[in-house]
Amino acid sequence: MDDVWSTKVWDDLKMFFPNNNNGSRIMLTTRESSVAISLGSYKPYVIGFLNEEKSWNLFCEKAFAQEDCPYPELEENGKNIVKSCNGLPLAIVVVGGLLGKSNMTREYWEFVAENVNAFSQFKR
């Protein structure tokens, strides 16, 4: 189960997952540590944000299908765009994927870099 915000979701669904003592487990993700703890998680695994280097590498893989930027004139704006994603992998993948299919000009990427926060607020 992905992105569980309250215990009510689990309360509504748990009857469909009987404990048959066969060793099965259910994995869920949540942004709320209180939800994880109240659902019986002993040691929740906390996933951090990507650092600047990993963010840039992921962006390049999505935008250019390689680890580095093949267009030196786009790199500065690309890094500014990635910085606006605040280390959030989904935001980086979406923006990188869209830009990979876009106009590969410095002017266009500069426009995106200046306006990326206007159309989506990538907050941690």
In this prediction, residue 36 carries a pLDDT of 86
Region 48-54 average pLDDT: 95
Q: Between 73 and 48, where is the model more confident? A: 73
In this prediction, residue 119 carries a pLDDT of 57
Query: What is this structure's pTM?
Result: 0.70
Q: For the chain, what are the domain ranges?
A: 1-47, 52-119
| DSSP one-letter string for the chain | --S--SHHHHHHHGGGS---SS--------S-HHHHHHTT-SSPPPP----HHHHHHHHHHHHHSSSS-S-HHHHHHHHHHHHHTTT-HHHHHHHHHHHHTS---HHHHHHHHHHHHHH-----
In this prediction, residue 124 carries a pLDDT of 54
Give the chain's mean pLDDT.
Answer: 88
